[in-house]
Each structure stands twice: as C-alpha cells, then as structure tokens.
C-alpha cells in the first residue's frame, strides 16, 4: 500500500471519529464548513456522514435506543437525534420468548402464532434469525395444555367487562365432578399462575350458606378461564365502590399464589433448605421472623389450602411451627 493511501485512510478515520464526537456532544455538522476545515470536498463529508449513519444503525440492537443523523433544515446542519427504540433488543426478546414458551398457557397453534408475531413485529430484522434459532428447539418440543382450549378472545371480553364494571353471566365447568354451573359475577381481575389464566370475581344472586363452606368469606371467587363454557357480558353495571372496597387486586394476588379460594390463613414454618430466596419469592407475603441454628422461621399470609400441597412437597426442608 502506498504511503499516501495510508495517510488518506488515517485522516478519514480521524475525521469520521471527530465528526461523530461532534454530533454526540450536541453540536451540528455543516458539510461545507467541515469540507473547508479538513481540506476535502463536500462529497467526502457526505460519505463520512453515511459511515456514521451505518455505525449507529448497527448499534441499535445493542443499546435499545435509536440514534439517527438527521438534516435540520431550520438550522441548516446535520444533528444527532436520539429516541427510544420501539423494538426489543435481542436479549429482551429472547427472555420474553423463553418466559412465554415456559408458561405453556396456550395451544400449540396459538403459541406458534404468538411467537411469529412477536418476533416479526418486535425484533430488528438483523436479529430475527438469531433469536429464531435460539428458541427453535424449545418451540418444536412445546407441550400444549391438556385442556386444548382457545380463549384469548374471551379474555379480551372479560378485560372490557372489568374496565367498564359490567356484570357477566358465565357457564362454568367445575374441576370436581365436572358439573356445569351458572354464575352471575362482578368481574374484578384477570390473573395468571402456573399454566392457567384465572378470572377473579364476586358472585351475585347466590345463597352462600348453601353453596360455600365459608359463607362469610368477603373475598372473590376464582375461575379458570379455559373452563368457562359460555360468556355473556350484560348491559348491567355494578357499583365499583361496593366491590373495590372489599377487594384490592395487588394485595389479593400476593396471598393467592396457589389459586385456591378459602379463608385467609396465617402460617409459620421453619425452613431448613438452601434457598430461602426461592421461598420468599414463592410466597410474596413471607417474612423472616428469626434465624435459628438449624433453620429460619418464616411467617406468611395465604388464602385457602393450596399452600398445604406445596408445603408437603418440601416436607424435607420445611417444618410447620404453627
């Protein structure tokens, strides 16, 4: 390579870096001025700007933000414009895809459609194939839920009913005995837990003394959405303050980890395992009471008896205190 060529390339690299730094600092670039400053023609500066544009484009997937060189006609110069990227980074979309697949909440066809839409709409083109290959095996071996029910549209209807505080009428296939019951409800929330979506609502027009073991329970009832056989959103509205006064979704969610209704219980146990953090994450209301030589005393509030099965599964590590 000729000596002059080496000098030209060095000068060009330094010039591009200097122009890039100028843009980063919030200053503008005027082609004619820069051409005079560096002793080159305007075309050279235009090519430098193109190099910077290309570099910024490559960086978008890494930084999660869009930085573009735009020409500001009022100022008569090129400036750097930064805005939040509407696309996910490759790391974000990979994490979301893994969570979605692991949820096993949808039928195989639904999951395939969701994944394709998610990748097509939210992933920069240059990362599409990379993410696709990383999840391909897990997607291929995806195991759909046994109920094989498509209910996404039903979820939207329920969401609208919740927002507009409309009474709903459902036919619901019970888990035990598989009898179908009719219920009029004040819908409060949609929740997800371990493979299933749930509707939380207050039952209307029912004799609780005959229907429930705990007729004085002030909390709502939980229904698996995939087991709702039919749904009618009525024109009847319920008074929000009557229900909201008895129900706070965030507080309820912290205590209903096992998606079984029932009385609010306070439990206390000694944990002797190696991952206290996992226990505290599993029971959001859990608090460490004290530490002992052979374990940690933990107290928590939960609804119903669903927690009993979880405690039994960990009986080698957990010992009930009271």
- Going by pLDDT thresholds of 50, 70 and 90, the confidence category of residue 178 is confident
Q: pLDDT digits over 225-272, tens only?
A: 999 999 999 999 988 655 544 556 666 666 666 667 667 788 898 999
What is the C-alpha radius of gyration for the chain, rounded to an integer number of angstroms? 30
Maximum separation of any 2 CA atoms in the chain, in Å: 97
Q: Is 192 left (phi over 0), alpha (psi -120 to 50) or beta?
A: beta
For the chain, percent of residues with pLDDT exceeding 90? 35
At 127, list the tokens: 């990362």
Cα separation, 320 vs 250, whole angstroms: 27
Residue 274 clears pLDDT 70, i.e. is over it: yes
Task: Classify each residue of 181-207 as buried b or exposed e, where b means 16 or more C-beta atoms within 10 Å of its C-beta.
Answer: eebbbbbbbbbeeeebbbbbbbeeebe
Residue 171 clears pLDDT 90, i.e. is over it: yes
Cα separation, 283 vs 299, whole angstroms: 10
Output 125 or 209, whichever has higher pLDDT.
Answer: 125
Residue 37 clears pLDDT 80, i.e. is over it: yes
The whole-model pTM stands at: 0.64
Residue 72, beta-bridge partner list = 77
Find the DSSP H helices in 189-260: 208-211, 240-244, 249-255
């Amino acid at each position: 390579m000729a000596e002059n060529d080496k000098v030209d390339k060095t000068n060009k690299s330094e010039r591009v870096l200097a122009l890039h730094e100028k843009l980063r600092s919030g200053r503008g670039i005027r082609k004619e001025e820069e051409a005079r400053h560096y002793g080159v023609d305007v075309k050279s500066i235009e090519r430098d700007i193109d190099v910077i544009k290309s570099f910024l484009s490559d960086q978008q997937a890494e930084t999660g933000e869009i930085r573009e060189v735009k020409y500001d006609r009022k100022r008569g110069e090129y400036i750097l414009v930064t805005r939040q990227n509407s696309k996910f980074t490759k790391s974000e979309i990979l994490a979301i895809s893994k969570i979605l697949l692991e949820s096993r909440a949808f039928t195989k066809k639904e999951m395939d459609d969701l994944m394709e839409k998610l990748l097509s709409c939210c992933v920069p083109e240059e990362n599409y194939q990379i993410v696709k290959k990383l999840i391909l095996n897990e997607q291929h071996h995806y195991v759909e839920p046994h109920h094989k029910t498509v209910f996404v549209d039903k979820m939207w209807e329920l969401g609208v009913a919740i927002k507009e505080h409309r009474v709903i009428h459902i036919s619901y296939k019970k888990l035990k005995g598989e009898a179908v019951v009719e219920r009029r409800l004040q819908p409060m929330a949609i929740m997800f837990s371990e493979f299933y979506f749930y509707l939380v609502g207050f039952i209307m027009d029912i004799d609780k003394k005959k229907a429930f073991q705990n007729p004085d329970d002030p909390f709502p009832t939980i229904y698996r959405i995939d087991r709702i056989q039919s749904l009618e959103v009525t024109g009847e509205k319920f008074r929000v303050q009557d229900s909201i006064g008895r129900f706070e979704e965030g507080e309820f969610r912290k205590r209903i980890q096992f998606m079984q209704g029932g009385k609010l219980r306070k439990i206390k146990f000694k944990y002797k395992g190696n991952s206290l953090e996992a226990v505290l994450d599993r029971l959001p209301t859990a608090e460490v009471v004290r530490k002992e030589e052979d374990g940690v005393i933990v107290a928590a509030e939960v609804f119903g008896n669903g927690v009993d099965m979880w405690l039994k599964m960990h009986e080698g590590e957990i010992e009930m205190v009271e």
